[in-house]
Amino acid sequence: MASTARTGLSITAPGRASGPAAKLLTLPWSVPLAQWPEDVLAALPRGISRHVVRFARLGDATVAVKETTEELAFREYHLLRALERKEVPSVEPVGVVTGRTDADGRPLPAILVTKHLRFSLPYRAVFSQRMRRPTLVRLMDALALLMVQLHLEGFFWGDVSLSNVLFRRDAGAFAAYLVDAETGELRERLSDGQRAHDLEVARTNVVGELMDLAAGDMADADVDPFETSEMLVEAYTRLWEELTADTEFTPDEAWRVEERIRRLNELGFDVEEYALRPVDDGARLVLQPKVVDPGHHHRRLMQLTGLDVQENQARRLLQDIESRRQAVYPDASESEAAHRWLVEIFEPLARQVPEDLRHKLEPAEVMHQVLEHRWYMAERQEREVHFWEAVEDYIDQVLRARRDEDAVVLHPTTTMLKAIPTPFASDDA
């Protein structure tokens, strides 16, 4: 905690040696947030919210700054820190600022500061008139996965909605991140009733949010709010069942244990602990997953290369490493092939993207899209396309036309979005 005796200002922040928290004292805390000067604010659009929210620059970093009560600020800060320790996808808490007063000594609201989530998209930027149904399915799958991850950790959200989520591209899919934990509660374990309540709130809010977009002529006519909300419920139910349901088998079917674990790995989950119990006097066994941990491919890629990417991106990059290992490094071990791929392919690709285009997409997503682009080029031209030929063509023909995604829009209004060029004009996601 840092404090200033002159003003009574108090800043509570994680004990990290570096990062945005160390620079918080440079912001104009004696000024109401709605009146902060333009030279402090980041040039990012903002929209409707229950609170006054602004985006500010802290050196090379950008943070979201929200005015609220001291009690709510600390509550959400500690919840976000707990979710961060559990490695649940959520925004990173930077600090809480209290004891603010204006120039006349009048008290000002407390502030919650969170780190800007780079390359993120709000749902309103995704639901546009050019959106295709596969994109809709992927968004609901991403939100369902986030809800499952939170519920597995005992987090009761209380206000599940698209407005409280940001999406990042994840190798043709989306990864969802919790943005607002104000109404959440972290418990040892959630009951079925608590999960059902969160799911019903999600169903209701998704319908309302999509109807709002439809009223503003921002959603495709084929997007049915009620059907979409049911897609979310069904995706959640399927995934929860897959992760937690028991598997029954006979003693001579021990291979079913490995099959179940492999299937969960393919979904992106590790089984850290499971229970086996006999039933029917030992004639059958029941396998019950007890501790299921998301991030299987992410952890494997991190161990091999040190790259910190989304789960589906990790899955795609691991596939490319293995393909290159078989074709180019047949005698190399998995770790050796991963290192050569990193220094010969991934890092040179990241360097080849021109400086003025590096805010378009994060490097792992560029790598995924280059691999897709190469495949389509080869199919279209009916010949083998060299990787670096595909890289050059992708940068010139695809990446340059994209809108920058290294930005965040928190709860943008329909009017604002109509003035922003859609990022989905030429692709389905």
CA distances from 363 to 115, 155, 173, 379, 385 (A): 20, 31, 16, 24, 21
Q: What pLDDT, on the 0 to 100 scale, is given for residue 47? A: 43
Query: Any idea what DSSP says for residue 117?
Result: -
The reply to whether 222 falls in a domain is yes
DSSP 309-349: --HHHHHHHHHHHHHHHHHT-TTS-HHHHHHHHIIIIIHHH
Rounded to 10 deg, the angle between the 296-305 and 334-341 helix axes is: 80
Q: Are strands 185-186 and 247-249 parallel, antiparallel or unpaired?
A: unpaired
Domain boundary among 70, 89, 115: 115
Report pLDDT for 114. 92
CA distance 139 to 223: 13
In-domain check, residue 201: yes
CA distance 288 to 279: 13
Is 213 domain-assigned? Answer: yes
Do 110 and 149 reside in the same domain of the chain?
A: no
| In a shared domain, residues 286 and 307 | no
Residue at 150 is within a domain: yes
Q: Give the three-state DSSP class for 15.
A: coil
185, 103: one domain: no
**CATH number of 228's domain:** 1.10.510.10
Give the sign of the dihedral formed by CA 260, CA 261, CA 267, CA 273. Answer: positive
13 and 74, same domain (yes or no): yes
Both 252 and 148 in a single domain? no
The H or E element that residue 359 is part of is: none
Q: Which of 92, 115, 138 is a domain's end point?
A: 115
For residue 416, what pLDDT is reported?
34
The answer for residues whose C-beta is within 8 angstroms of residue 103's C-beta and 6 or more apart is: 30
Whether 428 is in a domain gets the answer no
Query: How far from chain centre, in Å, is Cα 91?
Result: 9
Q: Which H or E run includes 237?
A: helix 225-244
Q: What is the pTM of this model?
A: 0.75
Q: How big is the CA angle at 188 (ends 201 and 89), to the nearest 5 degrees?
A: 60
Q: Looking at the structure, do residues 103 and 202 belong to the same domain, yes or no? A: no
3-state secondary structure of 409: coil
Residue 425 lies in a domain: no
- For residue 232, which phi and psi values (nearest 5 degrees)? -65, -50
Instruction: Domain of residue 275: give its range.
Output: 245-294
pLDDT of the residue at 284: 81
Residues 139 and 238 in one domain: yes
The answer to whether 425 and 130 have CB atoms below 8 angstroms apart is yes
Q: Could you write out the DSSP letters of every residue in 244-260? A: H--EEE-GGGTHHHHHH
Contact assessment for residue 128 and residue 222, using Cβ atoms and an 8 Å cutoff: no
d(CA 89, CA 148): 11
Is residue 109 located within the same domain as residue 135?
no
Question: In terms of domains, do 35 and 99 share one?
Answer: yes
**Which residues on neighbouring strands pair with residue 36, listed in sequence order?**
none
How does strand 120-122 pair with strand 110-115?
unpaired
CB 205 within 8 A of CB 160: yes
221 in any annotated domain? yes
pLDDT by residue for the chain (429 residues), tens digit each? 444 434 588 999 887 655 666 788 889 999 999 999 988 888 654 444 577 888 898 877 889 899 999 999 999 999 999 999 988 899 999 999 999 999 899 999 999 999 888 878 777 777 655 566 777 888 898 999 999 999 999 999 999 998 889 888 877 778 899 998 989 999 999 999 999 999 999 999 999 988 888 887 777 777 888 999 999 999 999 999 988 888 888 888 888 888 888 888 887 787 777 788 888 777 787 877 877 777 888 888 988 898 888 888 898 999 999 998 998 888 889 999 999 999 999 999 999 999 989 888 889 999 999 999 999 999 899 889 999 999 999 999 999 887 665 544 444 443 333 433 333 333 444
Looking at the fold, whether 168 and 62 belong to one and the same domain comes out as no
Comparing CA positions, the residue from 297, 280, 279 lying closest to residue 288 is: 279
Q: Which of 223, 179, 232, 185 is nearest to 205 (CA)?
A: 232
Q: What's the CA gap between 164 and 203, in Å, rounded?
A: 14
Q: How many domains does the chain have?
A: 4
Element (H, E) at 289: strand 284-294
Task: Give the SS3 label for residue 98.
Answer: strand
Cα 363 from Cα 370, distance rounded (Å): 10
Query: Cα–Cα distances in Å, from 15 out to 12, 62, 181?
Result: 9, 19, 21
Task: Assess contact for 110 and 100: CB atoms under 8 A.
Answer: yes
Q: 225 and 289: one domain?
A: no
Q: Are strands 284-294 and 53-58 parallel, antiparallel or unpaired?
A: unpaired
Q: Is there a contact between 322 and 377 (Cβ–Cβ < 8 Å)?
A: no
- 344 occurs within a structural domain: yes
The reported pLDDT for the residue numbered 49 is 58
Identify whether residues 221 and 302 lie together within a single domain. Answer: no
